[in-house]
């Protein structure tokens, strides 16, 4: 499968529905002399034959910290309310959560809640907040982040999910890998042990679904630091793109030649927002001919530093991958 990969990151407010704003091939942004209107006219047409819409989120952090002028439980409730509002705006079929629902094993200041108090905010997140979406006809997948250092058995007991999972829909296979498998069920507080790509899990799933196009998700992954074996998998035409959280950013990376020039997009956060990354989540659109994604920031009022700002609903940090059989 030949793919023409295009990437664009926009800082201006873009009111986009299901189409993507694009730039000419191989450009990261439109030339200064090119108007936004001209840039939009170059975008590939989106197939509506088998359109699928998925939301990907991470780093929600139900914990003891209040960020951005909002009490932490109200902030997590805002995440749930915004996800529901997004479904009502335009339905999606799945919510993929890529870790850090808490600071349960945090090693700083008053430490995490699990070892000091026996309180799992990860469990609270599922039971008190995520459960509010149970009436929506959507699939939910939920993997562990570096602040959920529960072993797989305990993680499943607390959440009903495994530390790594898959989601299969139509011609697509989402592989949600665990990249923080070191020192699980710890007796001391720490911020997780990064172990990188789980090659066994990845290969087993790709072999089990040989005819599916693949999207790789993780709490965090730096492909350029991974093994040659992993990079060879990325060069496989079946692998379309990657998503990760952890860094609380919404930026989009184009990987190098060793990684097949694939795109990896960050999923933002609902934890500690910055001027460069407001609270939000990623939208992913799948069609027969194209994959596209943008970072959605719902309307909100929050404090950054000493400034309280109000911003409107926006989509930014976009990318697309055209698919050609």
Terminal CA-to-CA distance of the chain, rounded, Å?
5
How would DSSP label each residue in 22-44? --STT-SS--TTS-HHHHHHTSP
Check: CB of residue 143 under 8 Å from CB of residue 165.
Answer: yes
**What are the residues whose beta carbons fall under 8 Å from the beta carbon of 81, sequence distance 6 or more?**
none
Burial of 289 (0-12, 13-18, 19+ CB in 10 A): middle
The pTM score is 0.86
Give the chain's domain count: 1
User: What is the structure's pLDDT at 106?
Assistant: 83
Tokens 């209107």 map to which residue? 37
Cβ burial 148-179 (10 Å sphere, 16+ → b, else e): bbbebebbeebbebbbbbbbeeeebbbbbbbb
Is residue 98 included in any domain, yes or no? yes
Is residue 115 included in any domain, yes or no? yes
Q: What is the pLDDT along the chain (325 residues), one digit of tens a residue?
A: 444 444 443 333 333 333 333 332 322 332 333 332 323 335 555 445 689 999 999 999 999 889 999 999 999 999 999 999 999 999 999 999 999 999 999 888 888 889 889 999 999 999 999 999 999 999 999 999 999 999 999 999 999 999 999 999 999 999 999 999 999 999 888 889 999 999 999 999 999 999 999 999 999 999 999 999 999 999 999 999 999 999 999 999 999 999 999 999 999 999 999 999 999 999 999 999 999 999 999 999 999 999 999 999 999 999 999 997 6
Q: What is the DSSP-derived secondary structure letter of residue 129? A: I
User: What is the structure's pLDDT at 12?
Assistant: 36
User: What is the structure's pLDDT at 135?
Assistant: 98
Distances (CA, A) of 6 to 43, 89, 136: 10, 27, 33
Check: CB of residue 175 under 8 Å from CB of residue 206.
Answer: yes
Q: What are 87's two structure tokens? A: 């479904």
Is residue 36 included in any domain, yes or no? no
Of 284, 280, 152, the residue nearest 213 (C-alpha): 284
Query: For residue 131, how many other CB atoms are within 10 A of its CB?
Result: 11
Is residue 264 included in any domain, yes or no? yes
Is residue 87 included in any domain, yes or no? yes
Helix (H, G, I), strand (E, B) or coil at 265: strand
Tokens 């910055």 map to which residue? 274
Is residue 112 included in any domain, yes or no? yes
Is residue 153 included in any domain, yes or no? yes
- What's the rounded Cα separation, in Å, for the pair 64 and 48? 44
Residue 173: domain span: 49-281
Q: Find the helix packing angle between 228-235 and 199-208, rounded to 10°.
A: 30
User: What is the structure's pLDDT at 115?
Assistant: 87
Is residue 257 included in any domain, yes or no? yes
Looking up residue 223, the CATH number of its domain turns out to be: 3.60.21.10
């Amino acid at each position: 499968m030949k793919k023409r990969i295009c990437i664009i990151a926009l800082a201006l407010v873009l009111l986009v529905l299901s189409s993507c704003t694009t730039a000419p091939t191989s450009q990261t942004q439109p030339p200064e002399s090119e108007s936004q209107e001209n840039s939009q006219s170059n975008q590939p047409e989106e197939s509506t034959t088998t359109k699928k819409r998925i939301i990907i989120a991470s780093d929600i952090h139900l914990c003891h910290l209040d960020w951005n002028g909002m009490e932490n439980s109200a902030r997590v409730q805002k995440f749930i309310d915004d996800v529901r509002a997004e479904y009502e705006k335009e339905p999606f079929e799945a919510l993929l959560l890529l870790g850090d629902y808490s600071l349960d094993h945090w090693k700083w200041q008053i430490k995490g809640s699990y070892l000091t108090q026996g309180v799992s905010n990860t469990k609270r997140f599922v039971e008190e907040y995520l459960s509010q979406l149970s009436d929506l006809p959507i699939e939910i997948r939920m993997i562990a982040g570096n602040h959920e250092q529960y072993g797989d058995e305990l993680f499943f007991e607390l959440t009903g999910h495994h530390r790594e999972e898959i989601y299969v829909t139509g011609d697509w296979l989402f592989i949600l890998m665990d990249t923080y498998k070191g020192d699980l069920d710890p007796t001391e507080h720490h911020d997780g042990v990064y172990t990188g790509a789980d090659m066994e899990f990845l290969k087993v799933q790709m072999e089990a679904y040989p005819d599916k196009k693949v999207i790789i998700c993780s709490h965090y992954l730096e492909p350029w630091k991974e093994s040659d074996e992993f990079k060879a998998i990325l060069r496989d035409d079946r692998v379309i793109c990657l998503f990760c959280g952890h860094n609380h950013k919404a930026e989009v990376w184009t990987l190098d030649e060793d990684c097949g020039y694939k795109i990896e997009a960050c999923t933002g956060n609902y934890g500690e927002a910055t001027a460069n990354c407001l609270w939000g989540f990623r939208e992913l659109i799948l069609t027969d001919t194209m994959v596209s994604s943008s970072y959605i920031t719902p309307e909100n009022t929050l404090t950054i530093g000493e400034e309280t700002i109000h911003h409107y609903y926006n989509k930014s940090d976009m990318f697309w991958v055209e698919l050609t059989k």
